[in-house]
Amino acid sequence: MSSFKDLRIVDNFYQTSLFFPMPTVIISTLTEDGKTTLGPYSLVQPYYVAGKEYYAMLLNCRNSSNTAQNILRTGKCAINFITDKRKYFKEAVKLSWPGDKPEEKMPKCNYLLEDGLMSSAYPEEKFPQVLSEAFQVIECTWMSELDNASECKPGELNGYPPPYHDFNGITSPFGATFILRIDKILMKEKYYNAIINGVRAKDFPPAPIDYGYRDSKNFWYTRHRRPIPELLQVRKTTVASVKYAADRIDDTIKFTDEACEKLIGVPRVFLPLALKGCVACAKENCVELITAEHMMQINDKRAKEKASKQK
């Protein structure tokens, strides 16, 4: 006998059939006259996180929303992460009413806006402004070439006719999914320093957790609590097992035992990727035998590359 009940799955199941924790973000886009408008969202998450030529976020929303229509038209948006202050969440709820036009809601909006980093990087282009109150912002470009989504055009506010796209653009009569390339990550200095210098429990931003619109009248959210660290027990492999994998990763590049020892802390599932990275670096520098010294140089290079990306 199961201890669970079988709950009916209905539209908007994430808030009608589940308790699904979500972020609370404010997405800024550009209206037809080039002004920034805002809309609150929770169905946003990382999409391409590694192994691609760019990183990306995923946004699900109503295709008739101001946000969707503006992204279809301009391809640009910014994802603003607000803190859990009650006044900020109240403001997000105030902006959420379907059908409100930007010229109606923005004059009453209490969020402050400022230019993002894309505006200074590309002054000849127009970009949505970002929230001054946000603790972090992701400036994005819609990758409309994926799934032939460039065929999707703005203008249909009462339901899009078929055909629909599988994973990008207009995906149903009333739904849209956008794969958004990450162009810039903007971080307030306090949290920037935490990521660069090493995060502690007190360094996490007070981000709200949203549980969506329920009981036909309320949006529900919880406030931030101090994160709790849980130590990952390191399972070191052996030099022999690393050597076995290293000897088979490439037929021209070899590793010394001392070099393999530098990799015994790498989880087994990530070891082939780490070895391939070392091999690629060795070939770039015309090295055929990777030593412990080479491993130190590779690690230094990766650390510098990571630091430069975070600037």
The per-residue pLDDT for range 78-135, each reduced to its tens digit, is 999 999 999 999 999 999 988 899 999 999 999 999 999 999 999 999 999 999 999 9
Say what percent of the chain tops pLDDT 90.
Answer: 80
> Torsions phi, psi of 54, nearest 5?
-150, 165
Query: Over the stretch 40-63, which tens digit does the pLDDT of each residue have?
Result: 999 999 999 988 999 999 999 999
**SS3 at position 9:** coil
Contact 211, 203 (CB under 8 A): no
* Residue 215 binned pLDDT confidence (cut-offs 50, 70, 90): confident
* Domains with residue ranges and CATH for the chain: 13-222 (2.30.110.10), 239-309 (1.10.8)
Assign 197 a pLDDT band (cuts: 50, 70, 90): confident
How many whole angstroms separate alpha carbon 7 and alpha carbon 16?
Answer: 10
Closest CA to 130 of 55, 77, 65: 77
